[in-house]
Amino acid sequence: MYQPQIDLATGQMLGAEALIRWKNSQMGDISPAQFIPLAEETGLIGSIGHWAFMESCQKISKAENLPPDFCISVNLSAKQLKNPGLIEDIQEILETTGVSPLNVEVELTESVLVEDPEKVRDVLCRMRDIGLRVAVDDFGTGYSSFAYLKKFPISKLKIDRSFIKDIPHSSEDVAITKAIIALAHSLGMKVVAEGVENRDQVEFLILAQCDMAQGYFISRPDHLPNIRHMYDLGIF
């Protein structure tokens, strides 16, 4: 499934995050929060991650009427980042699907970035060199080290939805969200608010000059062909 990310200045859909789904005939829908950690333990994450990347690229290569700078975001797990053949795998997928790396972004959580900073920096630089963008997922929840923000080629911070949930009522969350937006902008990065569920949050984020938003208020994860027409959400 794909969840749109909209530009808070114009309401345009700038991209979408690919969120994997597993439908089991006996157990029904199984959440990625349950099976991704299992896949990491068993080593299946390599093939699942490859499938998710390939599927996302095929989807945008076939979709019609997407803006030329539309960006698909794909989540990468810690184990995938350790695969020495990761960049070659990604390049091969981009070549076979004919998708430009400029239309693809990878999402990595903070904890992944700080695990082995030297190695991670090397992989991120290789990603940047082939034209891929990198977003930091769930920003603010990991063992943050601001040092990596200046050392690593990162183009976007995604504010974790736990900070967005009680906005605008929680003065602490308001302060944290404003600080993350200021930090991102002063480092030349874009900032996305995750888990946006109501109009009050959107209004706050527009005033706070957050660049983009993603969440149930805008759209639940959906099929890409159904969400591509959502340029005017009636919230601006």
* Dihedral-angle region of residue 43 (phi above 0 means left; psi in -120 to 50 means alpha; beta otherwise): left
Q: Kindly tell me which of 78 and 151 has the beta carbon lying closer to ligand C2E.
A: 78
Partner touching 154 among ligand C2E, Ca ion, none, CB below 5 to 8 Å by kind? none
- Rounded Cα distance between 1 and 164, Å, is 22
Smallest distance, Ca ion to C-beta of residue 135, A: 8
137 counts as binding ligand C2E under rule CB under 6 A: yes
Among 105, 110, 138, 211, indicate the residue that binds ligand C2E (CB under 6 A): 138
Return the range that interacts with ligand C2E (CB under 6 A); candidates 29-37, 140-148, 176-184, 223-231.
Answer: 29-37
Radius of gyration of the chain (CA): 17
* Angle formed at CA 57 by CA 55 and CA 59, multiple of 5 degrees: 65
Q: Which does 197 bind (CB under 5 to 8 A by kind): ligand C2E, Ca ion, none?
A: ligand C2E
- Check residue 80 for interaction with Ca ion (CB under 5 A): no
Is residue 221 close enough to count as binding ligand C2E by CB under 6 A?
yes
Applying CB under 6 A, among 77, 97, 177, 201 the residue interacting with ligand C2E is 77
51 binds ligand C2E (CB under 6 A): no
Q: Which of 108, 112, 136, 137 binds Ca ion (CB under 5 A)?
A: 137
Q: Which residues of 213-223 are buried (b: 16+ CB within 10 A; e: fewer)?
A: bbbebbbebee
For the chain, the first-to-last Cα distance in angstroms comes to 26
Residue 236, classified by CB atoms within 10 Å of its CB into exposed (0-12), middle (13-18) or buried (19+), is exposed
Binding positions for Ca ion, 37-66, rule CB under 5 A: none
Least spacing, CB of residue 223 vs Ca ion, in Å: 18
Sole binder of Ca ion in the list 45, 103, 107, 180 (CB under 5 A):
107
List residues near Ca ion by CB under 5 A.
75, 107, 137-138, 194
List residues near ligand C2E by CB under 6 A.
3, 18-20, 31-33, 36, 49, 52, 75-77, 137-138, 161, 195-197, 215-216, 221
